[in-house]
Amino acid sequence: MEDLSDKRKVYNSGYLLESELKENPIEMFRDWYFMAENSSLISEPNAMCITTIENNLIPRSRMVLLKQFTWEGFIFYTNYLSRKGKAILENTQVCLHFFWDVLEKQIIINGKAEKLAENLSDGYFHSRPRGSQLGAMASPQSKVIPNREYLENKLSDLDNSTKHLEELTRPENWGGYLIKPTQIEFWQGRPNRLHDRIIYELNTDGEWVVSRLAP
């Protein structure tokens, strides 16, 4: 075993003051995301952790890729029959988490997931490389499979059987989710563990209420 109690980092690369806040948290997200995207030290700025609640009330987290954000919310794609898809079917409340260690920033988003319109899922599916499209068709995501060769053989068979097609058809069980936020927290690391925490919460009138939280 290893004692990690002495492993710590001094956060001193930025701050988050009320004077810098935007009226809409999506604008704040946009500005922070572009900072991460423009950093040569962050290889996947759109990587995010999504936490779902399964039907046994146990949370489960995994990394996915954000593919778009709009004024409505945050979009990613997956297999609807996967473990996360089934969890969302049972409970649409999810949590997204971005952590950019180089910037000493993180964003925590609570919101409600809803399936994206089919035409939008079609559009994104057909924008993917052919190999990625075939991969989505071949993989019975989250199900037990006998071995790696099972997937590779299935992918090869699909590739051979669809070579004559100009366009592949998106599987009905694969598509996008839109996460509509109800709460967005922005965290900026500060010295002495007195981190800045600003939270936006959507009230019943559809307006964002902003508060500062103690670290």
The phi, psi pair for 56, rounded to 5°, reads -95, 10
Beta-carbon contacts of 25 under 8 Å, excluding residues fewer than 6 positions away, are 181, 184, 186, 200, 208
How far does Cα 95 stand from its chain's mean position? 9
Residue 31 CA from chain centroid, whole number: 17
> One of 30, 60, 193, 212 is an active-site residue; which one?
193
Tell me whether residue 193 is one of the annotated catalytic residues.
yes
**In this structure, is the dihedral angle defined by the CA atoms of residues 188, 207, 50 and 43, taken in order, positive or negative?**
negative
Burial 169-184 (b: 16+ CB within 10 A, else e): ebbeebbbbbbebebb
Task: List, by residue number, the catalytic residues.
Answer: 193
